Every structure is written in C-alpha cells, then in structure tokens.
Chains A and B, each alone.
Chain A
Amino acid sequence: MVALSSNLLYIAFILYLIATLFFGGAIKSKDQDEGNQKQKTNGWGKIAILLTIIGFLSQVGYFITRWIAAGHAPVSNLFEFTTFFGMALVGSFIVIYFMYKTPLLGLFTLPVAILVIAYASMFPRDISPLIPALQSDWLHIHVTTAALGESILAISFAAGLIYLVKFVDQTKSSKRTFWLELVLFGLISTLGFVIISSTFSALDYKSEFTWLDKNDNEATVEYNLPAITGPHNWELKTADAFEPLAAMPAMVNAKKLNTVIWSLLTGLLLYGLLRLILRKRISASLQPLVKNINLDLVDEISYRSVLIGFPVFTLGALIFAMIWAQMAWTRFWGWDPKEVWALITWLFYAAFLHLRLSKGWHGEKSAWLAVIGFVIIMFNLVAVNLVIAGLHSYAG
C-alpha cells in the first residue's frame, strides 16, 4: 500500500510536468484575440487539462492509499501537509480553469504546484504515528480546509503574477522590475533547495557534530549538506567531512540556517545561469508568453480567487482551528505563532478586499497585493514551521 501510494504520487508529479509543457503549447499555437470572451480551447489546451485531471486523480489515489496505510488522514507531518497543499492547488486550478478557460493560468499555476510537491518530498516521508494532541478528526478537517483555502488564494497569486509580467514595463529597470524579479528569484531558490538537497542526499552526504545548546548541554546534530554555518561550539565527529566556515550562537538553529544559505546560493547560481542564457530579466523573457492575455480577465480571476478562497480560509484556518484548539488545548485561541500568522493572513486578505471594493485598488495594485498575500501564506507554511517553532510545528 505504501509503495503503491508513493508511485501514484510520482505519476502525478510527472503528469503535472508534462501538462505544463502542453499548456505552454496551448499558448504558443493560439489565436487568442484580446477581449474575445468565447475563447475556444485548442487541442493542446484540451490535452493539457486532461493530463492535469489525470494527474490530480492519481494524486488523490496517493492520498487515499496513504490514508488507508496510516490509518489517519495523511496531513500530519510537513511532507504530507505540503503535498496536500500541492494537490489542493491543482484541484483549485482545475475548478477555476473551467470557469475561465485560460491555459495561461495553467502555465503559471502548475509549476508552482510542482515546486510545492518537490519541496515537500525533501522532508522525511515516513508515515508517522500521531501524538495524542493530533488524534482528532477536527485537526484533520482544520488542516485540509485551511490548505484548500490557501490553495485557492494561491491561484490569485498566479493570476497576479501573470498580470504583473504583462503589465510591468521591462524596457527600463525600475522598482517594479526589481520586486518582480525578486519574486521569481524566490521561486527559483525553492528549486535551488530541491536540487541541492537531492544532490547531496543522492551522494549520501552526512556529517555529525556535537555542540553545546543554550543551556550548555551537549547535543548532537547531523547535517545532510556540507556545513557553512556550524552550531555553537561545534566538534566534527565525521571523518572527511567539511568543516564549517563559521559557528553560530546557541540560539540560532545553525543547521536550518545552513540549508537556507545553500538554497539561496544554488538559487543565485541558477538565476545567474538563466540570466546569462536569456540575456535579459526572467520576467522580461516570460513576457512573450503572456502577450495575448486580456489584463482585465486575469485581474478578474485574481480577485475572484480571493473572493472564493477567503471564506474557505476563514472556515479552515480560523474557525475549525478554534474548534480543534478548544478540544486539544482547552482554549480556542492561545496566541501561538502559527495561530497568529493565520490571523495575519486573514487580516491581510480582509484589507485586500476592502481596498479593492472601497478604494478601487484594481489592476496592478491588486496584483501586487495578491503576490504579497502568497508570500505571507508561504511564510506561515515554511518559516513559521521551521523557524518559529510552536505547538503546531511539524518539523523536527
């Protein structure tokens, strides 16, 4: 069952990759004229969405089989949760695709989903037993609904990104081009993390350190990447392993910092290579892909996704979360960092809706807000889990 489950996930992953290529084809061969609402999807587009749906079903298969194997819904560690988020992202995309029939949205959403799933698989994939606090149906309902809401909100990011790639003037460099490049660099660094982690894990690189924690107790830690930043008072226990360049104070998690540095370095390298090959900004090279899209339409899609996603997010990330917290922690709200960041995300999207409705923030401003919203969601998903550990923190 476990093996079947992993294979289904693998198949889904490959299908998403192929579907992305077909979505690319659908754009290229398209006689999409601006403003025409009755777009007919061409052959490429049809194949692309079909592949996406099959991939999605395969991933649903992964989810169900893993559920059966584990005896609980597979959303209980970082790998499972993030994979689920990727699945929800594809599902939300499929629904929104059928509302607006824009293959371009697939070209931007699927790579994000692929990246999310690849990122997820860098974490331990073992099926883990549930500690008592996590043995609750409400927890699973909360986590899945929250991820679903976040994934719908993420569609608004993809649409916002399309808007900006088309809208931002690439003939001269400006603050706008800088920030847009930075967003893309963020995505590329995620890819960097995936590449560097899988490379060293394929090499089976390991180095073990003993170090002194903040209470001056000796602890051990195993690095899977060569150490740039070593832990406080480190002592290398593995022969032939790289020595750290610098030691960190005890309160800094040197291993995680090390991973972040490696990801950024790899990201920079990838980014540099791309710039060398393309000889212009990445966002400028993406521009031809979006030249036929109607800006009003993507703006509408972006706003619509926020409107659809906001209630789902509220229900999952706040209301269901409170119900679970009331049962597991005896109070529905405890100002735990993860809770606070869900509140921040919620407030942010509330501000987004108000600005849009009452202050007329359409188009570009709205697109930037959609991008910032996604950054906040990712921060909650990645940084709060890894850096600010609280009650919810899944990762070790």
Chain B
Amino acid sequence: MKDSKCECGHINPHGTAFCEACGKDTGEIQDKKNLLDMRYEGSARRSQTYNKSIIDKIWNFFSSVKVGVWLIVITLTASAVGTILPQQMYIPTNVLPADYYKDTYGWVGKLYYQLGFNNLYSSWWYLILIASIGVSLVICSLDRVIPLYKALKRQRVTRHEGFLKRQRLFGESDSLTNEEMENIKRKLKGKRYQVREENGNLLAEKNRFSRWGPYVNHIGLIVFLFGAMLRFIPGMYVDKVLWIREGETKVIPETNGEYYLTNEKFILDIYDKNKDNKAFEKAIDKAGNVVKNYQSNVILYKKIGDAIPGEKPKLKKIKEYPIQVNKPLKFEHFGLYQVDYKLDELNKMSFSLTNKKSEKTFGNITVSLNEPEKKFDLGNGYSVELMSYFPDFEFDENGEPTTKTRIPNNPAFVFKMISPEKPEGEVSFVAIKQNIEPFGDNLYKMTFNGIETKNVSALTVRKDLTLWVIMIGGILFMIGVIQGAYWNHRRIWIQHVKGATWISAHTNKNWYGLKKEIQYVIEDTNLKEPHDQINNEKKE
C-alpha cells in the first residue's frame, strides 16, 4: 500500500489515522463520529500497520501495552511469591536447603523447595520475564516515538474543521475582534505558550518535551538492565570475604597480589546507658545490649617491585583507615566493608616442659596457633619439637586424630620432648584437658600455661564496575519520569471558521489544569469556554 496525499497537500505515510499536518481524517483507521484518539497524533505506527511476516508479529506482540502490562503484573506476582518463605541466601548455611525448608515449614516448605521458589529471583523463568520487559520496552518505544516525533514536527497551525470539532475540549463563539485576539495571545505568552500564527489562526503550544518523558525513562530502565547484565562479564564484579585476624597481614583477594591489608584491631562497642545519650536509657533497658559500632582498624599496603617467589614482598603503606559499617575503605575500584567478626579466637597457647616427679620446669614455649614453629630450643640440652598439629581436632572414623578445619577452634598437638635424660625424645599428645602418652610412661610432660586470643574481622572485598552504568540508568529514569509527570504537553487552537471563532484544546494529561488555564486566557473576551465533550460521550 502507498502513502496518501491529504487535501491540504501533505503526504502521509500509509497507516496514518489523520493528517499529520492539518488533522483531516484519512478515513483509514478511526471511526468518523467520536473524539479523535490523540495519543500518538494519529501517526502511522508500524505495529498498527503491518501484520504479515513473523517479524511483524513479534514486533506487534512486544509493542503492545497490553502485553507490557501483563509482563509487569506477572513479574510483580512472581516477586511476591518469592517473599512468602525466605530465599535460600537467607537461610542458615549449615543445613541442606531441602531439609531446612521441609523441617521448618512442613509440606508448604517442601513444595516451595520443589518448585524452585527458594531461588526464585535467579531462576531462568524470572530472568526471562525481566528480559521480556526489556525487549518490550525497546520495541514499544521505537514503535511510538519516531512517528510521534515526526507528526508533532509536521503539524500546521491551521487545522481541518473535523479535527477541531473532535477534540475533547471544543467551543464555538461569535467572531473575535483583533483586539481580543491580541489580548488572548498576550496572556498565552504570559503562560509561556509558544504561539504560532497563520492567517489569523492561532496554535499555542507548550511543554512538548514532556512527551519524550516516557521514552527517556524507558531508555533509563534499559541502561539499568544492561548494567545489571554486565555483572556476568568476568572482572566486572568481585564478591569475596576476607577473614583477617588482629595483627595479621594478608593479601587482598582479586587484586592480583598488588594490595595487602593488616588488621590492627577489631573493636565492638556497646551503647552505655550512663555515658551515651540519656534519651536511650529506656530503650537500652528493654533491649539489653545494643551494638554501637563494629570497626576494624586496618592498614592498606601496596606491593612494590616484583616479588621473588617464596620471599616476602616489599610493601608500601598507603593508608590507615577505620572500617566501620557504612564506611568502607575505598581504593582503586575496590571497597572493603565490615560485615562480620569473631571475638576471642584462640591465637597462642603456651606450655612448660615439666618434670613429672619433681614438678620442676625447664622452660616455656608459646605456640602460635596459626603459624606454629616446629622447634623450640630451651637450652641446657632441653628442647621441644612440634611433630603434628591439629587446629580443629577430632578423631576420624578410624580413631585417628585429624582436623576438621584450619581454624584453631580446638587445637591439639603432638610434642617430642628432648631432655638430657632422654636425648632421643619422648612423645606426648596434648589437647584441651587431655594429655596422652602414646608410648608408655614419660619422664616429662607439657603443662598448659595459658592462652592468648585475638579478634577476627570479616571484610567483604567488593569491586563493581557496573555501578556507574546502573547509576546513569537510574538518573535517566528519574529525568524521564519527572519530565513526563511534572509537565504536560498542552495545545490550544483558536481558529476562524465560517464567520465564527472556534477554540479547541488538547493535553496529554491534567485536563483540570488545562481548563483553568483556558478560563484565565479567555477571560474578558467573548470567546466562550469550550465544553468537555468527554461528558457527551459518556452519556451516549
């Protein structure tokens, strides 16, 4: 099918409902009687014009607002389902999810788990829903914005009678004097309308830019979704936890060994009702202990030069920083966040080499539980060797000593005690409250002397290079919604037709405001207030 020429001379693309320039009904689309559907200026939208090929069909599907709204409503409902029971990431990690859901919530929990709702927000179908919304956003926007832009650009001042009559606000009056027209024009300009004139007819228009609001906000959403997808590209996103003890220096993961961190001290403060704000007293009495601060005092180092393998790298101090919740340490693209802690982890244990009979001691040793030394020379022919070390000791199924984890929760040691009497050494197995002599009676024993504890901080190591894309998406979205919501596109036509003066007006929203503005503009003239023809339509 071809483009068609209107009687005003303008050539309209195929599918146009009323002429882009003068507004005359092309007879192609809309019925003849009722108010014009002004939403997209009657412009020829692809989705309304073609429906043959498979591409047309897909295009039409995604450009339909009905489909868009369904997608939104389904996503919304699915999201709600995901809040009925806690998602898997919020349940304890020391139990099997399948068991947890069944044991805690009975058959409901079991079903929830079987349907995969425990990881709903990362399920393939949820992601498809979000992706479809994204596709729909792109297509529906393209389908509308281009024809709308063209139509608004091509509009003429003088409109066809049918166009004027079929506006929602329409009125007829006796012909106005020039003076009155001037008066109206002045007031329109005062209300910041752009007034165009042609043969004594007026088109006053303002805030056309607000029509682009939805498209700007949709672009914002797409940028946002795009940003969220970037996370799956390796290197864009880092999410690691670094457990670091007081006094310890560790390489920061994912920094290519470039950065090191020392944890000087972990601090946990509780509100003190006597020292802190008196106003908190009652609340503290009720709640018991309320935490005031979690803080890790750290020092950040950067490695200088190339380290020789096996040798300690040379470090340059970059900065000292107290990391608190809400106050991460930032460097390059990384952030270190205070997320967890452990108080009083065993750090060192000390023992004395003791003669069992005389109770006489021959020197003390202190074993560092994280990096134990192998040999302790006590002089005078006395020394102790650490033969084996089990930081988190238990017996395995064969009754052999083994360690559950690398964390010194329950340390146990096998010592070899060397003395002038026994230069070849005696073996002693020492654990908390245990002292076993595997090879018969010893002369000496290791007596427990004391412990030293340290706090441990857990810091999340975060790098997120997608943030700025997401931020731009958010900002665009806000600009778009504000643009579309806080301004309205208003047009007023005043035209001389057959010895009378007609007024018609259109706005994309807020008719109340438009009517008030018209009242003000035509005050003191003979122009009658236009009727709201939507009321006639309702009564029919």
Q: Mark A370-396, 1 if CB is under 8 A from B, else 0.
A: 000000000000001000101000001
Q: Give A334 to B122 CA distance when docked, in angstroms.
A: 12
Given the interface pairs A308-B486, A330-B337, A330-B462, the reply to whether A359 lies near B69 with Cβ below 8 Å is: yes
Q: Give A350 to B76 CA distance when docked, in angstroms.
A: 11
Tell me whether B462 and A354 are in contact (CB under 8 A): no
Is A133 interfacial (CB-CB < 8 Å)?
yes
Out of B75, B283, B292, B470, name the residue touching A132 (CB < 8 Å). B292
Tell me whether A319 and B474 are in contact (CB under 8 A): yes
Instruction: Please give the distance in Å from B468's CB to the nearest CB on chain A.
Output: 12
Given the interface pairs A297-B512, A300-B511, the reply to whether A132 lies near B324 with Cβ below 8 Å is: yes
| Residues of A111-140 contacting chain B, CB below 8 A | 124, 126-129, 131-133, 135-136
Tell me whether B326 and A251 are in contact (CB under 8 A): no
Instruction: Please give the distance in Å from B250's CB to the nearest CB on chain A.
Output: 18
Q: Give A156 to B291 CA distance when docked, in angstroms.
A: 40
Tell me whether A124 and B286 are in contact (CB under 8 A): yes
Q: Which residues of A contact B486 (CB under 8 A)?
A: 307-308, 311
Tell me whether B89 and A327 are in contact (CB under 8 A): no
Is A315 interfacial (CB-CB < 8 Å)?
yes
Tell me whether B286 and A133 are in contact (CB under 8 A): no
Tell me whether B72 and A311 are in contact (CB under 8 A): no
Q: Mark A318-343, 1 if CB is under 8 A from B, else 0.
A: 01001000111011101111001101
Tell me whether B326 and A132 are in contact (CB under 8 A): yes
Tell me whether B83 and A341 are in contact (CB under 8 A): yes
Instruction: Please give the distance in Å from A167's CB to the nearest CB on chain B.
Output: 12
Tell me whether A330 and B519 are in contact (CB under 8 A): no
Q: Which residues of B contact A322 (CB under 8 A)?
A: 474
Out of B82, B271, B287, B325, name the residue touching A340 (CB < 8 Å). B82
Q: Which residues of B contact A337 (CB under 8 A)?
A: 83
Is A69 interfacial (CB-CB < 8 Å)?
yes
> Interface size (B, Cβ < 8 Å)?
65
Is B539 interfacial (CB-CB < 8 Å)?
no
Is B313 interfacial (CB-CB < 8 Å)?
no
Instruction: Please give the distance in Å from A334's CB to the nearest CB on chain B.
Output: 8
Tell me whether B485 and A132 are in contact (CB under 8 A): no
Q: Give A351 to B69 CA distance when docked, in angstroms.
A: 6
| Residues of A350-366 contacting chain B, CB below 8 A | 350-351, 354-355, 357-359
Q: Which residues of B contact A71 (CB under 8 A)?
A: 277, 279
Instruction: Please give the distance in Å from B458's CB to the nearest CB on chain A.
Output: 11
Is B302 interfacial (CB-CB < 8 Å)?
no
Is B328 interfacial (CB-CB < 8 Å)?
yes
Is B293 interfacial (CB-CB < 8 Å)?
yes
Query: Nearest B residue to A306 by beta-carbon distance?
Result: B485
Tell me whether B294 and A132 are in contact (CB under 8 A): yes
Is B68 interfacial (CB-CB < 8 Å)?
yes
| Residues of A201-231 contacting chain B, CB below 8 A | 214
Query: Nearest B residue to A343 by beta-carbon distance?
Result: B79
Instruction: Please give the distance in Å from A8's CB to the nearest CB on chain B.
Output: 16
Q: Give A335 to B69 CA distance when docked, in angstroms.
A: 22
Q: Which residues of A contact B532 (CB under 8 A)?
A: 296
Q: Which residues of B contact A344 (CB under 8 A)?
A: 76, 79-80
Query: Nearest B residue to A388 by beta-carbon distance?
Result: B83
Q: Which residues of A contact B87 (CB under 8 A)?
A: 335
Instruction: Please give the distance in Å from B337's CB to the nearest CB on chain A.
Output: 4
Task: Tell me the dominant secondary structure on chain A's binding face.
Answer: helix
Tell me whether A69 and B279 are in contact (CB under 8 A): yes
Is A2 interfacial (CB-CB < 8 Å)?
yes
Given the interface pairs A308-B486, A327-B326, the reply to whether A2 lies near B79 with Cβ below 8 Å is: no
> Interface size (A, Cβ < 8 Å)?
60
Given the interface pairs A70-B277, A314-B478, A330-B337, the reply to whether A128 lies near B283 with Cβ below 8 Å is: yes
Query: Nearest B residue to A68 by beta-carbon distance?
Result: B279
| Residues of A55-91 contacting chain B, CB below 8 A | 69-71
Is B387 interfacial (CB-CB < 8 Å)?
no
Instruction: Please give the distance in Å from A301's CB to the nearest CB on chain B.
Output: 8
Q: Which residues of A contact B335 (CB under 8 A)?
A: 330
Q: Give A124 to B535 CA distance when docked, in angstroms.
A: 52
Out of A340, A357, A358, name the residue touching B83 (CB < 8 Å). A340
Tell me whether A335 and B277 are in contact (CB under 8 A): no
Tell me whether A300 and B510 are in contact (CB under 8 A): yes
Given the interface pairs A37-B516, A351-B76, the reply to whether A310 lies near B283 with Cβ below 8 Å is: no
Given the interface pairs A129-B290, A330-B335, the reply to whether A214 lies near B104 with Cβ below 8 Å is: yes
Is A291 interfacial (CB-CB < 8 Å)?
no
Instruction: Please give the distance in Å from A133's CB to the nearest CB on chain B.
Output: 5
Q: Give A353 to B127 CA distance when docked, in angstroms.
A: 24
Tell me whether A135 and B283 are in contact (CB under 8 A): no
Given the interface pairs A37-B515, A337-B83, the reply to whether A311 lies near B68 with Cβ below 8 Å is: no
Q: Which residues of B contact A133 (CB under 8 A)?
A: 325-326
Is B73 interfacial (CB-CB < 8 Å)?
yes
Is A304 interfacial (CB-CB < 8 Å)?
yes
Q: Which residues of A contact B276 (CB under 8 A)?
A: 129
Is B481 interfacial (CB-CB < 8 Å)?
yes
Q: Mark B297-335, 1 if CB is under 8 A from A, else 0.
A: 000000000000000000000000000111110000001
Tell me whether B277 and A129 are in contact (CB under 8 A): yes
Is B146 interfacial (CB-CB < 8 Å)?
no
Q: Give A191 to B69 CA distance when docked, in angstroms.
A: 35
Q: Which residues of A contact B516 (CB under 8 A)?
A: 37
Tell me whether B72 and A347 are in contact (CB under 8 A): yes
Instruction: Please give the distance in Å from A230's CB to the nearest CB on chain B.
Output: 19
Q: Which residues of B contact A100 (CB under 8 A)?
A: 512
Tell me whether A351 and B280 are in contact (CB under 8 A): no
Q: Give A331 to B327 CA distance when docked, in angstroms.
A: 13
Is A23 interfacial (CB-CB < 8 Å)?
no
Q: Which residues of A contact B481 (CB under 8 A)?
A: 310-311, 314
Q: Give A327 to B326 CA distance when docked, in angstroms.
A: 5
Instruction: Please give the distance in Å from B323's CB to the nearest CB on chain A.
Output: 11
Q: Mark B468-485, 1 if CB is under 8 A from A, else 0.
A: 001000100110011001
Q: Which residues of A contact B477 (CB under 8 A)?
A: 314
Is B436 interfacial (CB-CB < 8 Å)?
no
Q: Give A69 to B282 CA distance when docked, in angstroms.
A: 14
Query: Nearest B residue to A1 by beta-carbon distance?
Result: B279
Out of A38, A359, A384, name the residue touching B65 (CB < 8 Å). A359
Tell me whether B462 and A340 are in contact (CB under 8 A): no
Is A368 interfacial (CB-CB < 8 Å)?
no
Is A10 interfacial (CB-CB < 8 Å)?
no
Tell me whether A354 and B83 are in contact (CB under 8 A): no
Is B339 interfacial (CB-CB < 8 Å)?
yes
Q: Give A253 to B435 CA distance when docked, in angstroms.
A: 49
Q: Give A315 to B220 CA distance when docked, in angstroms.
A: 13
Tell me whether B478 and A319 are in contact (CB under 8 A): yes
Q: Give A129 to B281 CA distance when docked, in angstroms.
A: 9
Q: Which residues of B contact A334 (CB under 8 A)?
A: 89
Instruction: Please give the distance in Å from B481's CB to the nearest CB on chain A.
Output: 4
19 further interface pairs, Cβ-Cβ under 8 Å (given A132-B338, A297-B512)? A126-B282, A127-B282, A129-B277, A129-B283, A131-B290, A132-B293, A133-B326, A304-B510, A307-B486, A308-B485, A314-B477, A326-B467, A327-B326, A327-B327, A330-B462, A348-B76, A351-B72, A354-B65, A388-B83
List the 10 shortest-distance A-B pairs measured between CB atoms, nearest first: A132-B325, A358-B65, A126-B283, A128-B283, A337-B83, A347-B76, A126-B282, A127-B279, A330-B337, A129-B280
In the complex, 27 of the A-B residue pairs with CB atoms within 8 angstroms, ordered by the A residue number, are A37-B516, A69-B279, A71-B277, A129-B277, A129-B284, A131-B292, A132-B325, A132-B338, A133-B326, A251-B104, A296-B512, A296-B532, A303-B509, A307-B486, A308-B485, A311-B481, A319-B474, A327-B328, A328-B326, A330-B339, A330-B462, A335-B121, A340-B79, A340-B80, A347-B73, A351-B76, A358-B39
Question: A-contacting residues of B (Cβ < 8 Å)?
Answer: 39, 65-66, 68-69, 72-73, 75-76, 79-80, 82-83, 87, 89-90, 104-105, 121, 239, 271, 276-277, 279-280, 282-284, 286-287, 290-294, 324-328, 335, 337-339, 460, 462, 464, 467, 470, 474, 477-478, 481-482, 485-486, 509-512, 515-516, 519, 532, 535
